[in-house]
Amino acid sequence: MFNIPEEKKIRVILDTDVKNEVDDQFAIVHAMLTESFDVRAIIPAHFGDSKSQTSQADSYEEAVLVLSKMGKLNDAALCNGAKEAIPDEKTPVPSPGAQIIIKEAMSDDERPLYISFLGPLTDMASALLIEPKIADRDITVIWIGGGDYPNGGWEYNLKNDVNAANVVFKSNVRLWQVPRSVYRMMPVSFAELRDRVYPYGEIGKYLTENVISFNNAQKSRPTEYRILGDSPSVGLMMFGDCGEWEDIPRPEFGSDMKYIHTQSDRTLRVYKNINSRFILEDLYAKLKLKYS
């Protein structure tokens, strides 16, 4: 589409529970089409056991499917994440995904490393527990997850590994959080997907049909729109000010998933809103440029 010098590209790792629902797929596609990204790895993640007893393996299969439909199966390493949550805040669950995080974090490559988590923080927590030195490296962790501020509470990505969230939030790693109130600012209508995504390649057809069939099969789901809640991760890696944010003392999480405001000296960046049109229009343009 256009050339970005290699030295200006950022290194990217996506950790994704892609088979959980139908929005991670859009984030994967968008990241893989973004010329300023050097996608070093995609880590298929677990999403608990309430929907499947093989959730991590399900995510792997879906990641393979998405990349295949893009014609990009060999363009990024696929490294399996942990099959389950960490059992406590001291014990990692080793995996190839945790190892690739450590490898890239400790690399001599001077380009920035962004690690986006579209599900639980299991693999980041495990990497930190296995090799604590990575917390002091030039990496940025972006997490789509956590309840609304200031109180918090139940949230799906957090629910699937509260211990991991505490490990990451208690660490020194640079951390950007997109909580539930913000990632829900990414609605798209079926008509928009049919017009702007469906016409562009096998992947455009799949993304659109997958959303519609998923929503139609769920009694509790809306009939004519979908929230692409994981896509802010791509927009923020492209443009960190793609939304208003503030630095706040890092909270911890109670067993009820509510925030415990400790007034820690460590801070994190919490987004208060997101520029959904910048993100969506960029995705649409890249699909059109690539597949028309």
The number of domains in the chain is 2
Q: CA of 117: how far to CAs of 17, 208, 291, in Å?
A: 9, 23, 27
d(CA 149, CA 142): 17
Identify whether 2 is part of a domain: no
Same domain? For 217 and 253 the reply is no
Identify whether 176 is part of a domain: yes
CATH code, domain carrying 11: 3.90.245.10
0.95 cut: is pTM over it? Answer: yes
| Amino acid code (one letter) for 152 | G
d(CA 97, CA 126): 9
Same domain? For 152 and 197 the reply is no
- Provide the phi-psi class of 82: left if phi over 0, else alpha when psi is between -120 and 50, else beta: beta
Per-residue pLDDT at 221: 72
Interior CA angle at 256 toward 27 and 260, to 5°? 85
Same domain? For 23 and 167 the reply is yes
Q: What is the DSSP string of 151-163?
A: TB---HHHHT-HH
Identify whether 15 is part of a domain: yes
Q: CA of 261: how far to CAs of 89, 141, 170, 248, 251, in Å?
A: 18, 20, 12, 10, 5
Q: How many CB atoms lie within 10 A of CB 63?
A: 25
Same domain? For 37 and 59 the reply is yes
d(CA 214, CA 60): 19
User: By the 8 A CB rule, do 164 and 257 touch?
Assistant: no
The parts of the chain modelled with pLDDT lower than 50 are none
Same domain? For 127 and 69 the reply is yes
SS3 9: coil
Same domain? For 65 and 103 the reply is yes
Q: Which residues of 204-213 are buried (b: 16+ CB within 10 A; e: fewer)?
A: bebbbebbbe
Q: CA of 124: how far to CAs of 45, 176, 214, 285, in Å?
A: 11, 13, 29, 32
- Domain residues for 207? 189-227
Same domain? For 132 and 65 the reply is yes
Per-residue pLDDT at 1: 66
Q: Which pairing describes strands 174-178 and 139-144: parallel, antiparallel, or unpaired?
A: parallel
| Amino acid code (one letter) for 159 | K
Identify whether 233 is part of a domain: yes
User: By the 8 A CB rule, do 224 and 238 touch?
Assistant: no
Same domain? For 57 and 167 the reply is yes
Same domain? For 207 and 269 the reply is no
Same domain? For 202 and 126 the reply is no
Measured over the CA atoms of residue 288, residue 194, residue 56 and residue 86, the dihedral's sign is positive
Per-residue pLDDT at 263: 82
Q: CA of 165: how far to CAs of 72, 127, 161, 237, 253, in Å?
A: 31, 13, 7, 21, 8
Identify whether 26 is part of a domain: yes
